Structure 1
Amino acid sequence: MRKQHPPRTLPTPTVAMNAQSAIVGLRGKDLLSTLRGMAFQGLRQPVHSARHLLALGGQLGRVLLGDTPYKVNPHDPRFADPTWQLNPFYRRGLQAYLAWQKQLNSWIDESQMSADDRIRARFVATLLGDALSPTNTLLNPLALKELFNTGGSSLAKGLGHLLEDLLHNDGMPSQVSKQAFEVGRNLAATPGAVVFRNELLELIQYQPMSEKQYATPLLIVPPQINKFYIFDLSRDRSFVQYALKNGVQTFAISWRNPQTRHREWGLSSYVQAAEEALEVCRAITGSKQVSLLGACAGGLTIAALQGHLQAKRQLRKVASATYLVSLLDSQIDTPAMLFADEQTLEAAKRRSYQAGVLDGRDMAKVFAWMRPNDLIWNYWVNNYLLGKQPPAFDILYWNNDNTRLPAALHGDLIDFFKHNPLTHAGGLEVCGTPIDLQKVTVDSFNVAGINDHITPWDAVYRSALLVGGSRRFILSNSGHIQSILNPPGNPKATYLESHKLSGDPRAWYHDAKKHDGSWWPQWLSWIQERSGEQHATQMELGNLQHPAMEAAPGTYVHVR
């Protein structure tokens, strides 16, 4: 009899917001409206509210007597300092904070609010609870220790950092020391050259790093929301260098940072520009086919491009497609989207069209509020209460190197999340052609992150099922960015895979097998099988029609 393994616990999203929230935005007045609704509900149910207030009073009484009825989440680093458990004052303060949070959530769950209103209220209560954490005050034991150890200078430095952020960082705590990095020096430093430029993009061809190379080139299509060099950070985790060292001819698109005058650039504009880049790759390498790799919104772009080529009967130009943390099926149910009614969506479109662009700083704020303890309050404590400089971390530098979205593309993305058009044939039209992903029969390699709070893994899995052809799906044990930056040698890296793709993500998850290590080698074997024959490396970049121009990383990447 075969041994039965216990089923895995299906991972659930740890945050309430995702990419959909960042695109639509989250207005402060919507949160205030929910707070007002909670206050009115308290008045409408006085007996219910009084009962929970009495329960909270009883719990606080137990806490004052020294009882510790609540356990801290062992994965919550905010209360890791032993002072929170050993010092009677701090222990009581922590227990009172946990009691208040528990009773507030219990009041919401047992109220007579509608199901949607309860979800909104829990979402706001979580944000409020995180903001009012006792670790965010100068009574934080870490802050007090630093204050005494530095003779008060930590407080002075913290005030200086606060003033600097108020003046130059929109009042948000800085996440990274920007002086430690420079694009082209220690980031995006792989040798190469711009071989093509149009109004929307620069195409970079990289210098080969192997004695032989495969005939079919790889074209990397990054998300329009961020700059392209996430694929070429420091040398030890440069995806570009990994491909080059293993014989894959590599090109990358660097999108232009749009300005107000570019408000009419929509998804069709980007697909058309990417098609031009694909043709240049074919012309320079002499290959009839090109492999495509897209990440996040770049995955949507390459899917639309393939649908467009298929409609023109030119899909043979694409050898394979790799989708990294990419949404094609945009159905995601989150509490934050309960704030986005028809009026909110239209208002978001109107604001960006009036401005010409959606400012990347606005999106960055929403992304930060997806994980406030990690991306806001953590730096509040470090920068202001401890008076320390933020860390020098390449991923955070890239994450803070904001770009803008043109108004038309912003509107297209709002419609994409609203209508979920790629789930049915002809639901999306690009460059005048209807898209039917089931007719896109290119082999695809799909990667999701189990802890991804931006593009949830189950939605990425459903997206993989929308395309035709042979499909492979891998679930990395990482978040949104770390799922991409997953080089071999990481001792913590694992991934799940099952070669049978069922219609239900839950069924696939329970059948999948765990593998140690990075998914990069798996992708490399897969892409090499689809990259034609090997031949002697051609070191010259560009050709007569498309000569090498500026050295990589080009000029568009520096546009603020």
Structure 2
Amino acid sequence: MRDKSAADPVPVPAAFMNAQNAMLGLRGRDLFATVRSLTLQGLRRPVYSAKHALALGGQLGRVLLGDTLHKHNPDDPRFADPAWRLNPFYRRSLQAYLAWQQQLNSWIDESDLPADDRTRARFVATLLSDALAPSNSLLNPLAIKELLNSGGSSVFKGLGHLYDDLLHNHGLPSQVSKQAFEVGRNLAATPGAVVFRNELLELIQYKPMSEKQYARPLLIVPPQINKYYIFDLSAEKSFVQYALKNGLQVFIISWRNPDARHREWGLSSYVQAIEEALDVTRAISGSKEAHLMGACAGGLSIAALQGHLQAKRQLRKVSSATYLVSLLDSQIDSPAMLFADEKTLEAAKRRSYQKGVLDGRDMAKVFAWMRPNDLIWNYWVNNYLLGKQPPAFDILYWNNDNTRLPAALHGDLLDFFKHNPLTHPGGLEVCGTPIDLHKVTVDSFSIAGINDHITPWDAVYRSTLLLGGDSRFVLSNSGHIQSILNPPGNPKANYFESGKLSSDPRAWYYDAKQASGSWWPQWLDWIQQRSGEQRETLLALGSQNHPPMEAAPGTYVHVR
């Protein structure tokens, strides 16, 4: 057990939004309603507002005289340039910004608004203060230096990038140079073949990379809101290749990108499709059972599948289940969820049913506003103020390779977050069968990210407690995606684990021990123990009943 003091609190993701917001969206009218309530608060209490205005004026006066009243976060990359500390003009502009930010938050905290309204107000104030940061202006010292170094060309390049994004990226700064990557060439390039296809998915089997392989195969189920190749980026990051090189037979699902014709595909449709893929995986491998691995919404899907199989007394098909940053307990406390009410939920469902799908670009916007300094204003500065191309980064390329959700599945996920059905037996019905996760006695291995703002780690921990069988929980020191992409050799990687799962995430964290390195080797040892005997590797893909169709990555991954 580590020595934890009061200064070592239980970590929480430093963000306002999460997976619920991506499903629900965030309407401008809700934000404007909060701004209106703040304005009315100021008008109703003029003396209170004047007190804070005078306090701000006094601080600005001292800033003009050269006083340094506020310390900025030294880890904030927006103000890393020495000019923000050493140059009198930039030091004063930063101090004025920090003073305004501090006084605005103080004005909200000391108001007589109800607690929920104050939380909404702090959320809007954070978005506003991030947008108005002096680093986002043309006077950014980095922009001035680039202007001089480029002879003024950075301005024209920046305007060109802005014009291009307005036309082709829905007004958001591009996060990645898309010309640097091609799926099937330098992404999703591990050799394999499509061995099964139905309306919803293609099943890819990969060529072995070891002299011997374990009898029980692994079926990976990616989230329906993303393309599968997050598991197969570059060779050094490829989870697929890591598993193959260590003797596992690997199959993966590549989801079809739905359109309006597929609006009726709901959670039951996807569970049925996964069950088909599981049966094909078992048939090709010759194993009576297979391992399941699900990421994010894919984890919810494999849990629902196991509950369905348990109700049919067919759970023996599953040897083990791995859950990567997956929510089964959907109770998440988030300031942004205070904007959600019954009307908002019904409006979100109605919009997707009218269109037939929830567009992945709409979800991407919400995800970007989860971390605006990292995912919006950082690229605003780089692309427009500095006139530079966005970086060539494979994870961001994948993240921007948007997919859609069929309306029925979108509605099912909204109901999942609203009712939290898996926390009580029979609360969720899939394929006509009620689900009781406590009766799912399959051994499980769950991964959460300590900095995950999409599926917060404490909710993932509570999800683990819903499962029957022998459950193991590991907390990675990363965010949502980096928790999955955690190959051995990363010197910054570490994780927390405790042999005992208590009912309280805080108590578990207090008792957990920190270990250096990636969780991948721990998972590999765990799943190899459950994978049966090793045998000579069979190089042929598919089988007589399921012959290879075409080479990986298949066709569905290319549908936009």
TM, length-normalised to structure 1: 0.99
What code does the residue aligned with 1:119 have? T
CA positional deviation for 1:9:
2.0
Within-5 A mapping of 1:196-345? 196-345=196-345
CA positional deviation for 1:77:
0.6
Instruction: Tell me the SS of whatever aligns to 1:251.
Output: strand
**2:485 is equivalent to residue 474 of structure 1:** no
**2:473 is equivalent to residue 456 of structure 1:** no
Q: Which residue matches 2:29? A: 29
| 2:258 and 2:357 in contact (8 A); partners too | yes
**2:64 is equivalent to residue 73 of structure 1:** no
Within-5 A mapping of 1:412-451? 412-451=412-451
1:313 to 1:182, Cα distance in 2 relative to 1, 3 A: same
CA positional deviation for 1:4:
5.7
What code does the residue aligned with 1:530 have? R
What code does the residue aligned with 1:180 have? A
CA positional deviation for 1:12:
1.9
Q: Which residue matches 2:382? A: 382
CA positional deviation for 1:236:
0.4
CA positional deviation for 1:6:
3.9
1:162 to 1:3, Cα distance in 2 relative to 1, 3 A: closer
Instruction: Tell me the SS of whatever aligns to 1:307.
Output: helix
> How many residues align structurally?
559
1:54 to 1:322, Cα distance in 2 relative to 1, 3 A: same
CA positional deviation for 1:3:
9.8
Instruction: Tell me the SS of whatever aligns to 1:328.
Output: coil
CA positional deviation for 1:424:
0.3
Q: Which residue matches 1:558? A: 558
Q: Which residue matches 1:400? A: 400
TM, length-normalised to structure 2: 0.99
Q: Deviations over 1:75-134 (max 9, x none)?
A: 211000000010111111100000000000000001111100000000000000000000
Q: Which residue matches 1:136? A: 136
Q: Which residue matches 1:525? A: 525
What code does the residue aligned with 1:472 have? R
Instruction: Tell me the SS of whatever aligns to 1:300.
Output: helix
Q: Which residue matches 1:166? A: 166
- Cα distance in 2 for residues equivalent to 1:112 and 1:135: 33
**2:88 is equivalent to residue 88 of structure 1:** yes
Instruction: Tell me the SS of whatever aligns to 1:478.
Output: coil
Q: Deviations over 1:347-371 (max 9, x none)?
A: 0000000000000000000000000
- Cα distance in 1 for residues equivalent to 2:2 and 2:506: 21
Within-5 A mapping of 1:54-65? 54-65=54-65
CA positional deviation for 1:5:
5.5
- Cα distance in 2 for residues equivalent to 1:21 and 1:6: 34
- Cα distance in 2 for residues equivalent to 1:416 and 1:357: 18
What code does the residue aligned with 1:450 have? I
Q: Which residue matches 1:493? A: 493
- Cα distance in 2 for residues equivalent to 1:4 and 1:262: 54
What code does the residue aligned with 1:13 have? P
CA positional deviation for 1:47:
1.0
- Cα distance in 2 for residues equivalent to 1:378 and 1:136: 9
- Cα distance in 1 for residues equivalent to 2:422 and 2:235: 37
CA RMSD of the aligned region, Å? Answer: 0.9
- Among the aligned pairs, what percent are the same residue? 81
What code does the residue aligned with 2:383 have? N
1:458 to 1:3, Cα distance in 2 relative to 1, 3 A: closer
Q: Which residue matches 2:149? A: 149
What code does the residue aligned with 2:427 have? G
- Cα distance in 1 for residues equivalent to 2:73 and 2:407: 42
CA positional deviation for 1:49:
0.5
With 399-408 and 38-47 compared, the bigger mean Cα shift is at 38-47
Q: Deviations over 1:331-352 (max 9, x none)?
A: 0010110001100000000000
Instruction: Tell me the SS of whatever aligns to 1:483.
Output: helix
**2:27 is equivalent to residue 17 of structure 1:** no
Q: Deviations over 1:143-183 (max 9, x none)?
A: 00000110000000000000000000001100000000000
| 2:282 and 2:290 in contact (8 A); partners too | yes
- Cα distance in 2 for residues equivalent to 1:495 and 1:132: 36
What code does the residue aligned with 1:285 have? S
- Cα distance in 1 for residues equivalent to 2:549 and 2:261: 26
What code does the residue aligned with 1:269 have? S
| 2:2 and 2:511 in contact (8 A); partners too | no
